[in-house]
Amino acid sequence: MFPEIERTLVTRGQIAARVAEMARDIARDLKADLIRDGHSALDEDRVVLIPVMTGAMIFAADLIREMPVKLAIGLVTVSSYPGQSVSSKGAQLASALPDNLAGKHVLVIDDILDSGQTLALVREVVGAQKPASLRIAVLLDKKTARVREVPVDYVGFEIPDEFVVGYGLDYDGYYRNHPEIAVLSKSVLDAAEQRG
ω into 3 cis (within 30 of 0): no
- Region near Mg ion per CB under 5 A, out of 49-57, 59-67, 93-101, 150-158: 49-57
As a whole number of angstroms, the distance between CA 150 and CA 105 comes to 18
How many other CB atoms are found less than 10 A from the CB of residue 190? 10
Q: What angle do CA 114, 116, 117 make, to 5 degrees?
A: 120
Contact status: 166 vs Mg ion (CB under 5 A): no
- Region near ligand 5GP per CB under 6 A, out of 21-29, 32-40, 96-104, 157-165: 157-165
Smallest distance from Mg ion to CB 53, Å:
8
Q: Which residues pair with 50 in a beta bridge?
A: 108
Smallest distance from Mg ion to CB 35, Å:
33
Q: Which of 58, 60, 106, 111 is in the footprint of ligand 5GP by CB under 6 A?
A: 111
Helices (H), 8-129: 12-36, 57-64, 117-127
Which residues lie near ligand 5GP (CB under 6 A)?
Answer: 55, 80, 88, 91, 110-118, 163-165, 169-171
Residues catalogued as catalytic: 114
